[in-house]
Amino acid sequence: AQSVTQPDIHITVSEGASLELRCNYSYGATPYLFWYVQSPGQGLQLLLKYFSGDTLVQGIKGFEAEFKRSQSSFNLRKPSVHWSDAAEYFCAVVPTDSWGKFQFGAGTQVVVTP
Amino acid sequence: EAGVTQFPSHSVIEKGQTVTLRCDPISGHDNLYWYRRVMGKEIKFLLHFVKESKQDESGMPNNRFLAERTGGTYSTLKVQPAELEDSGVYFCASSQEGNIGYGYTFGSGTRLTVV
């Protein structure tokens, strides 16, 4: 079955430390890949996306993600987190033939400690 | 440009009552989508409009949910009668036709609590 998995429900990280959020997908063909963030009281904001080409994608707010076809993964990273990065992060995919219908992972809640 | 607007931002209703959620997409966006996230679960697709037509309503949970998009502009999602399990956050998103390359723009969501 097609699925998007975010193995970590909750991550706590110290301010200034690095952050990596994992995402794995299971689809017949590589879908379009996205990371969204939802801060408290806010909507879903697009961090970055991957369609094809360079497997290392740069996004907003200093985030980047790396697509690894062999591992069906699209992990999100940030070298040094800020307190404002505390939020919930969602990996999402859109199958290339699905008219833009997203399938989301369960989300990873990131807590940033001083 | 104005973003996707949803209201109300919060709604608390009693079981059995009716609630109508509204979504105003970005002007000119033909595609409009509804999603929801019930407590502790993934964000799930509900349906997709192209202009005023329902392109895909495979995610609608049951016939207590009715979505409309009059004139291809704003959309409403009515829940009648509401049940406890309908509680969650309802998101709307819009995109230009076929323009998945630029992703969607999501609204801030409506948090629905059924008591």
How many whole angstroms from its chain centre is CA A1?
20
What pLDDT, in 10s, does the model give residues A24-58?
999 888 888 999 999 887 888 999 999 888 899 99
| Contact criterion met (CB below 8 Å) for B75 and B68 | yes
Say whether pLDDT at B100 is over 70: no
Q: What angle do CA A26, A29, A32 make, to 5 degrees?
A: 85
Which residues are within 8 A (CB) of B19 and not within 5 positions of it... i.e. 6 or more apart?
B11, B13, B78, B79, B80, B82, B112
DSSP at B98: T
What pLDDT, in 10s, does the model give residues B61-71?
999 999 999 88
The answer to whether A83 faces chain B, any CB pair under 8 Å, is no
Q: Which of residues 40-69 of B touch A (CB under 8 A)?
A: 41-45, 48, 55-56
- Please name the member of A42, A99, A106 whose beta carbon is closest to the beta carbon of B42: A106
The answer to whether A31 faces chain B, any CB pair under 8 Å, is no
**Residue in B with minimal Cα distance to A5:** B42
